[in-house]
Chain A
């Protein structure tokens, strides 16, 4: 069996806000078409890691990034930042429906990338809303406001928007904290389906979610990698580190 190809290569990544370093030189690779989970307690640098990936960290004043991140072999500091962000779909923890119609919410990204042909936009919007398991609920009212949807629907709208620029990598940051278990399960099914086409990075506090979905799991603690291994190993009775075992089993500290 050939080795899976790397889509993201992170080497000695250091991130500091002012003088406070939050990621202390971490290195790992993410393979194509895997679901890669990042678990760890609050303040361990999970969200910061994602923000480094699509360079939205650039918007944070006094954040300094060192080390290198390569996506498909290309250093992300070179090349077009907007294409990079289109390559990486990002779903924030809290649902953000933009104050525009449901249709425009999904069509926003392709339009920003210069797509204006109505028929292609229509197709794309339908495809993304279907992928996000939202189409059946909103197909009758695509022109009503995205912000008028319920929290769970807005979260799926956010996912549809993240898929709308046809990313090759999808990052989900605690996507399920604002939605109910049933919807969560539906989205998890969607993710398993999407895995055939794209790479998924799942940041989560729900260790069970990582166990259910992920191929590999990274346990990040205080900006350092405690353990990175196949999910079965991380959640087994003897993972590489005692800390991992304690965290996963809820007896941390």
Chain B
């Protein structure tokens, strides 16, 4: 009898084993619950917005200009304005940010000067957008004499997104194993040949994702552009793709939403909700693009 229990022992569940099993199940449910809790607000917000916006959501709303003192009509000038602002700010910030990050990660040694740059980048990333707005007002609108304009607003957005682009690009570069670089150096490749042949091809997906995610951030910000170049209303042609000059002021989606919600009395309710849906849609679209790009690039990843 005693012998038999001894033989059965290795696979018999013990009290400790059962307890372990129970904790593991509880842990799993808690984590799952948290993950679901995160989805609920997103889904309900989107559903609520779309439900309220439904009466105004149509093609005409996108391409028409605001009418009746912005109480009706569409959002074309704001939509185009947002594209202008985001496009120009990215065209400025992306090259500077990516190149700076390559310098910091691939070339810079560990000395006080580079540590200072690092510190600056980290701190700049933490500066609130309203402070960036004031900086943009002082630097671009007044000091550089660009006036209240698309160029001032775009540059302000660029300054705001720059540190985050640098940080995410460095992250992507750092994910390339050091052994690859050493293998290249060992055969007499210069740093630049190494970067070109090995580092960039294997980090480009991460770099692009980081840059694209800043698009959504730039599109959603209100404060920096409100101080430097966005206006309540600007008369443009319906469906005109190039209504603005670089030195013009412009409308923008985030600003437009703020205006409708707080400054204009008796707005048709569905109009402001529809504006929010379009803004959200643009941001989600860009994010989805970033994810798709990432998946596509990752499938081509080679180690």
Contact = CB atoms under 8 A, between A and B. Distances in A.
Interface of A: 54, 56, 59, 61-62, 82-86, 89-90, 92, 94, 96-100, 108-109, 112-113, 145, 147, 158, 161-162, 164-165
**In the A-B complex, the 9 residue pairs with the closest CB atoms:** A109-B187, A99-B302, A85-B188, A86-B188, A90-B186, A147-B303, A96-B183, A112-B189, A99-B303
Interface residues of B, number: 21
B110 interface: yes
A113 B188 contact: yes
B196 to A, nearest CB: 10
A96 B184 CA distance: 10
B240 interface: no
Nearest to B183: A96
B188 A99 contact: no
A5 B56 CA distance: 89
A82 B191 CA distance: 11
Contacts of B301: 99
Given A92-B182, A96-B180, A147-B302, A162 B187 contact: yes
B188 to A, nearest CB: 4
A96 to B, nearest CB: 4
A99 B297 CA distance: 14
8 contacts: A85-B187, A99-B303, A109-B187, A109-B189, A112-B190, A112-B193, A145-B303, A165-B187
Contacts of A56: 182, 185-186
B184 A61 contact: no
Nearest to B181: A59
B193 to A, nearest CB: 5
Nearest to B301: A99
A108 B186 contact: no
Contact of A54 (B186, B190, B201, B303): B186
Contact of A109 (B109, B188, B202): B188
B255 to A, nearest CB: 45
